[in-house]
Amino acid sequence: MNRETLAGIGAAVLLTVGAISYPAPVRAAADAAPQATTTAQVLAPPVSAPAEEERVEPFDTLDVSVLQLDSLKRTVEVNSVGVISLPLAGDFNVAGKTTRQIAADIAERLGRHDLQDPQVTVTLQDANQGTVSLKDAARRGFTVEGSVVLPGVYSIYGPTTLLQGLAMAHGPDQYASDKGVTIYRDLDGRTNGVAYNLADIRRGKVLDPPIYPRDLIVVPGSRAKHMIRDFAPTLPLLYLLPKL
User: Domain holding 113: CATH number?
Assistant: 3.30.1950.10
Least confident of 39-53, 92-106, 197-211: 39-53
Residue 53 maps to a domain: no
Q: Round the average pLDDT of the chain to a whole number and report it.
A: 76
Residue 204's domain comprises 36-46+131-221
**Predicted TM-score (pTM) of this structure:** 0.50
Residue 55 maps to a domain: no
Residue 64: exposed, middle, or buried by beta-carbon count in 10 A (0-12, 13-18, 19+)?
Answer: buried
Write the pLDDT tens digit of every residue in 5-32: 544 544 544 444 444 344 444 344 334 4
- Residue 235: pLDDT over 80: no
Total domains in the fold of the chain: 3
Write the pLDDT tens digit of every residue in 152-190: 989 887 788 999 999 999 999 998 999 999 999 988 788
Residues 89 and 135 in one domain: no
Instruction: Give, in order, the Cα–Cα distances in Å from 131 to each of 61, 80, 100, 146.
Output: 8, 17, 21, 31
Give the residue from 45, 42, 84 showing the smallest Cα distance to 185. 45
Highest mean pLDDT among 50-54, 76-80, 113-117, 141-145: 141-145
Residue 197 maps to a domain: yes
148 backbone dihedrals φ, ψ, rounded to 5°? -125, 160
- Residue 94: pLDDT over 50: yes
Residue 239 maps to a domain: yes
Which of 124, 153, 173 terminates a domain? The answer is 124
Mean pLDDT of all residues in 193-221: 93
Residues 10 and 74 in one domain: no
Please report, rounded to a whole number, the percentage of residues in the chain having pLDDT higher than 90. 35
- Kindly indicate the confidence band of residue 233, based on its pLDDT and cuts at 50, 70 and 90: low
pLDDT of residue 206: 92
d(CA 101, CA 77): 17
pLDDT of residue 121: 92
User: Domain holding 211: CATH number?
Assistant: 3.10.560.10
